[in-house]
Structures are given as C-alpha cells and as structure tokens.
Amino acid sequence: DGGGVIDPPENDEHCWEQAVDGEVTVDVLDHLSRCLECRVRALSMRSATQITLASIPPAPECLDVRVLAAVESERQSRRLGAGRLFAALGHGRRRLSWARRPPILVGAIALVAVVIAMLVVTKPAPLVTGQSQAVNVRPLSGYCTRSRQLTVAGVWSGQEGSDFARVLGAFEQRTGINVTYAYETHSIATKLQNLIQEGCAPDVALLPQPGTMNELAAAGDLKPLDSTVAAIVRRNYSRAWRQLGTEHGRLYGVWFKGAAKSMIWYRPAAFRAAGITSVPRTWQQLLTDSQRLRRAGIQPFAIGGGDGWTLTDWFSNIYLATAGPVRYQELADNRIKWTSPSVKHALSLLAQIIGDPSISGSRLSSARTTFPRSVRDVFGADPKAAMVFEGDFVSSFLPHTKSGENARFFNFPGMRPEKSAPIEVGGDVAVVLTSSPAAQKLEAFLASPAAAEVWIRQGGFISANRGVPVSTYPSDLLRRLSRRLVDAQSVRFGLSDQEPAAFGSDPYQGMWSIFQAFLAHPDEKAKVTQRLEIGATAAARCERAVGGDC
C-alpha cells in the first residue's frame, strides 16, 4: 500500500488500548501501521496527555532535585527504549517500513509515563486512608511472577481498586496473611488463562462475568469452596445468588460485589408536571406515562446509545420480562436462535422506546449520547428528559444538583399487572484457583458481612449479602438499592455478560455495535436478528475451538 494506512482485516482486533497501556508488541505495532482508527485514538490520547501535563502545577521549590532528575531519566529511558523497540522490528518475521511505523506511539507512551511520574512526585499521597491498611497493589502480569503472598486478581483500579485494597487490608489485619492485589482492567479472562497454562495463577480472582467462572470450572481450573465457606454462603446469600456461584452442583464462587440493573430512574418534578401520581408497573403504563410527559412538553427518556452496552441492557430486561427466565437462559446459552420470534417481539418493544422520537428524542442525538451524559440529561442542572434506564450504579453518576439529590427509581415494568419481572443483575464473583488454605480463608471473609461493610463505608458499593445490616448504608437510596438485590427471588445476568467477549463485550463488533445499528434503523428487525445469530454462532464456535481465547 506504499506505506499508507489501510483498514485492517475485520477479524483483526483493535489494539490502541494496549498501545497506550505500554503493551508494545510486534503485533501491536503491525496493527497500528495498518489501522487508521487505532492511530487516531492513540493520537487523541496523546493530546489528552498534553492537556493534563499543562494543567499540572509546577513542583514545589523544596522538592529534592534528585527526584526530578530521576523523573527525567525515566522519561529519557522510555523514549530510548521505544526507539530501540522500533529499530528491532527490522529483525522480526515481518519488516515494517519507517513510513508505516506509528511515531505517535512513542510520544504517547512517554507522555503518559511523565504524567504518572509527575503526579506521584507533586502530589504524594497514600493509596488509601482510613480504618483499614491498604495491601500491596500492582498490575496483573501476563507472565509468571512468583510470590509468597496471597495474590488476588480483580478488575478494579483507581478509586475502586483503592476501596478493594481496604477490604483486603482488613482481612490481612484479621489473619496476619499478607496479600497482594493485582488488577487487570481490559482482559482478565485472557490473562488468567495464560497464567493458568504457565502454572502460576493467582490464588483468588474476582470475575465480572459468570460465563468466565463457568468456563474455568468446566475446565477444572477452579477449586470448589470448602465446607466452611459453603456454610457462610448459605447463611448470607439467597438461593438465587447461590445458584449463580454454582456449576454442576458444586459451589465455586462468592458474589462479593453486586449490581441491580432492572430499574428506571426518574425526576419526580417532571412526573408531577405531567400529572403522573404513581410510577408505572407495566410496559403499557410506561408508554402511557411517556405520552403524558410528551404532552407536557417534557422528553420522556434520555438514551445513552453512544455506549452500546446500555442498549444490550435494555434488550436483556425486555426479553427477560417477555420470554421469562428459562427461555432467557436458553438464548444466553445459544440453545435457541437469535432469529426466533421471541427475539423479534422483544426488539419490537424496544423500538417503541428508542425508535420513537416523541419518547426518546432524535436517534442521532441518542447515538451520540454516552451513558454519563444520559444521566446528566435527566438529573443535571439543565435537564431535558424525565427518565433514564440503567442499574444501581446510576447513583454514582448523579450530579450534585437539586434534581440529582431528588433522584428516584422504579422497577423495570413487567408485561402484566399481576406478574413482576425477574431482575437483571451484575457483579463480581470471587473464585479460587490454587490449593492455598489462605485462599479459602479469604473466600470466607468475602462472604461475611464484615468484608462488605468495609467498602460500603467508602461508598459506591452494593452487596447481595443479606447479613449486611441495611442501616450500614449511608442513605435511603442505597438502602433501597441493597434490598433490591438481597430480596430478589429470580435473577439473571445480562445477556452480553454471559456471551463470549468477542460477541458480548467488544465495542467494535458483536452485540454492542449491532444494537447501535438497530438504534439507527429500528425497522430492520430481521436484519438485526440475522446479524446477532451469525455473531453468536461464530463466537460460540471460537470458544469451543480454542478454550475461550477467541
């Protein structure tokens, strides 16, 4: 192609996140040389880094000059290291011309490194503070790193990672067992499989998808929870949550962090302005109230279609309410086709919301709206809609305005007045991958109310543990959300969470992008179901063929 940039093959995964994270492999560089989208994203990341650098205040005069020298040395070494890596590519199996090597990657990685270093230098602070001492925290390596400490892998970083470090710190203080927390924010399932194959898996892992737990259990890579842990789980969790941690009759997981995803959040002032005196309980009542809002000059819904996962959650809740939990699970397990009439019926109902401009505004606007923006469109200082659909984590995105403080929610409506719909849930399940007795002790602690209470005090956490006193939660809103999880009699994980990642959670293919296409063309139900069936079948075959590394 003469050194130009062309679109990569359709089955070539985008790699800009790995590149910005510093995972600079030959394959990543090869992809970057051919993929315009990844290069543009990496460039935008560099621009964001430059803005961040410009906003960092100068170092205080009292700062040791040796620290500044170390930062500069690190910056130079990273630049030189990246340059050597580019030069070494000429000796690989596939030589890249200099015209095709992405020079922006060098700058992006170097700038990110400088930002991180400067933040550490100019704003020294412990990872966490409070009653529990934080444990050692590091990224989860894809290669063997031996440690005498109990190693716990999870997906939380940033503030959530700090909060979980407090939980592990409380366990460390109680037992004297030293713990290291290793986080992986992008592809924890793949990293774990690599570590298992190399014989150095972490002792405990917290997985955000039940499908990953089921696959690891079926492959014999998980250790069943011992009788002590099982007794604690029976005491503190409902039957619905115990079933989610069970595979082939054996208990493998403790659902430490939970999320209820079957609720619609609304602004009471908007309902009052439209003369709505009670929340809708059925789908038809929801449509009727939406028209009342429209007649009052209020847009009923804000749709965060810019994030494809919000649309899959919409569909999951509608399908769960219409088809029931048994058929829902059959669809998740690919035992019925995505082209079945039940799927088309659920799509028709979804189109009544996202395909009607009088209810959700223009489809173009919905396609450009991110999930956080959709919350602000309802509860911000200048609201434009009355309702937004999503899980309990909406509470973490509520702005500090009067409308945000008055946020309320109601359960996702059922199809008939006499029957409430099962709820869609999310969460993180703790599983054991080694024979370490300390791993089982940690599972017992995570199944106890004490572990959940540590994170509840920090905020942003809901537990399905019925042993946690409701009074532990700091607000009435959080207390209602916790009861929603604890009291649920029938729960199912989202369809996308149960599918292979290539189909269920890839932002550029699979369910997310297909439902975004449905948002643009809600009358093309047949075409959408065909694409869903093709994607689900291909992902399932790949999973069976290569053990999940699709």
Q: What is the pLDDT of residues 198-254, one digit of tens each?
A: 999 999 999 988 878 988 998 999 999 999 999 999 999 999 899 989 999 999 999
Position 381 pLDDT exceeds 80 = yes
For residue 332, the model assigns a pLDDT of 92
386-411: b or e for each residue (b if 16 or more CB lie within 10 Å)?
bbbbbbbbbbebbbeeebbeebebeb
Q: Is the pLDDT of residue 3 over 50?
A: no
What would the mean pLDDT of 464-486 be, rounded to a whole number? 90
Tell me what pLDDT residue 159 has: 86
542 and 534 in contact (C-beta within 8 Å)? no
Q: 36 or 161: whose pLDDT is higher?
A: 161
Asked if pLDDT for residue 263 goes beyond 50, the answer is yes
Owner of token pair 């030069």: 87
Residue 61 confidence class, pLDDT cut points 50, 70, 90: very low
pLDDT reading at 139 higher than 60: yes
Give the number of other Cβ atoms within 10 Å of residue 1's Cβ: 8
Q: 107-123, pLDDT tens digit by residue?
A: 444 444 434 443 333 33
Structure tokens, 175: 């037992």
pTM of the model: 0.67
SS3 state at 430: strand
| Mean pLDDT of the chain, nearest integer | 80
Biggest alpha carbon–alpha carbon distance for the chain: 73
Assess whether pLDDT exceeds 90 at residue 322.
yes
> CB of 425 within 8 A of CB of 485?
yes
DSSP 198-223: HT---SEEEES-HHHHHHHHHTT-SB
- What's residue 358's pLDDT? 96
Helical (H) or strand (E) element with 29: helix 26-34
State the number of CA atoms in the 13 A half-sphere of 59 facing the CB.
18
Parallel/antiparallel/unpaired status of strands 263-266 and 408-411? antiparallel
Top-confidence residue, 105 or 336? 336
- Whether the pLDDT of residue 264 is over 70: the answer is yes
pLDDT surpassing 90 at residue 186: no
Beta-bridged to residue 204, according to DSSP, are 152, 432
255 versus 79: which is more confidently predicted?
255
Instruction: Give tens-digit pLDDT for 356-369.
Output: 999 999 999 999 99
Q: Which residues pair with 153 in a beta bridge?
A: 182, 205
